A = this chain, B = another copy of it.
Amino acid sequence: MRFTAAELGKLLNGVVEGNPDVTVSELAKIEEGSTGSLSFLANPKYAPHLYTTNASVVIVNKDLVLTGDVKSTLIRVDDAYSAFSVLLEKYNTIKQNKTGIEQPSFISTSATVGENLYLGAFAYIGNNAKIGKNVKIYPQAYIGDNVKVGDNSVIFAGVKIYSDCVVGNNVTIHAGTVIGSDGFGFAPQADGSYSKVAQIGNVVIEDNVEIGANTTIDRATMGSTIIGKGVKLDNLIQIAHNVELGANTVVAAQAGISGSTKIGESCVIAGQVGIVGHITIAKGSQFGAQSGVHKTITEENKKWNGSPIDPYFNSLKTIQVLPRLPELERKVYELDKTIKELKGDK
């Protein structure tokens, strides 16, 4: 992609200041801009970079007052940040404009696929699977038997979706993620071995969900593991069998949620958090990184931290005392000695 400043000015409904014929072919931060790159200035903190950047074109707010010479062509718009976001989105869409069915790929004769499918080479669509419109399935992805994928969803390279799972509309699943593997259910036997409990449920991923790379979501023992509408999951997350995540809940990388736990809407779960099984978390709950969540939470919209969790500010206070613990212990035994002396004195 290569655009002139004039073309971008028209696209963004902005005013071009400087050479309208200069061209850009890549995006860069203002402090890293080089010839041929397009940048933006929204945060006044970065304003000094405007006078030193080598970016060929910079998008700025229309009311920006220059305080020095600028080499770049400027495009003045109502809101530089929004304008740049629009361009990013467009750029990304162009990059993901894959269409058609590459060969060799595998589509079961009993599967149905919607219009405008992209199916990468070595991708697999199983028996009776139903794929919606405008879906992109990248190379080496696996769509098991009876799986449903809604419209406009993107399944990146090497994603594995086991049989009977349901993926909604506008869902994005990143490379290497596994949906619908067996829940971890084993019954102890008298001889010390374990007998597998069949896992015959599925996973339901509702609309507008995005899931990162190499995350795992187990199928329910019975019924469904449910990822609610608008949920955003990062990379390397573990979601165990029969978990339910409420709408618009966000989970950061390497967090793990154990079996049958129900998480409310709009929760925020930071990185490496662990949540035990069979509990319920009220909507709007927030957990700091590496927290250990060991109990049901009924109060909504509360922040927690620590392992095991404590209310957020309590936890911060506890954490501050920890480095002083050896000193505190010494102090206590000094006091003990002093008191014994005082008592002895009497």
Q: Which residues of A contact B (CB under 8 A)?
A: 27-29, 32, 85, 88-89, 91-92, 95, 102, 104, 106, 120-122, 124, 138-140, 142, 144-145, 156-158, 160, 162-163, 172, 174-176, 178, 181-182, 184, 186, 192-194, 196-200, 208, 210, 212-216, 218, 222-223, 230, 232, 234-236, 238, 240, 247-248, 250, 252-254, 256, 258, 265-266, 271-272, 274, 276, 289-290, 292, 294, 306-308, 310, 314-315, 317-326, 328-329, 331-333, 335-336, 338-339, 342-343, 345-346
Which B residue sits closest to A273, measured CB to CB?
A: B272
Is there contact, CB below 8 Å, between A156 and B160? yes
**12 new A-B pairs (CB below 8 Å) besides A192-B247, A214-B214, A289-B292?**
A85-B197, A85-B198, A88-B197, A88-B198, A104-B104, A124-B140, A172-B182, A178-B213, A182-B212, A184-B253, A236-B238, A342-B346
Is the CB–CB distance between B342 and A200 below 8 Å? no
User: Which residue on B lies nearest to A224, using beta carbons?
Assistant: B32
Q: Which residues of B contact A213 (CB under 8 A)?
A: 160, 178, 181, 216, 218
Q: State the copy count for this chain.
A: 3
C-alpha gap A263/B102 in the complex (Å) = 41
A271 to B200 CA separation, bound complex (whole angstroms): 23
A238 to chain B, nearest CB (A): 4
Q: A193-B230, A272-B272 are in contact. Are A200 and B124 (CB under 8 A)?
A: no
Contact (Cβ within 8 A) B254 A238: yes
A180–B192 Cα gap in the complex (Å)? Answer: 28
Instruction: Please report the C-alpha to C-alpha distance between residue A200 and residue B37 in the assembled complex, in whole angstroms.
Output: 13
A332 touches which one: B197, B250, B332 (CB < 8 A)? B332
Distance between Cα atoms of A199 and B85 in the complex (Å):
10
A249 to chain B, nearest CB (A): 10
* Closest residue of B by beta carbon distance from A230: B193
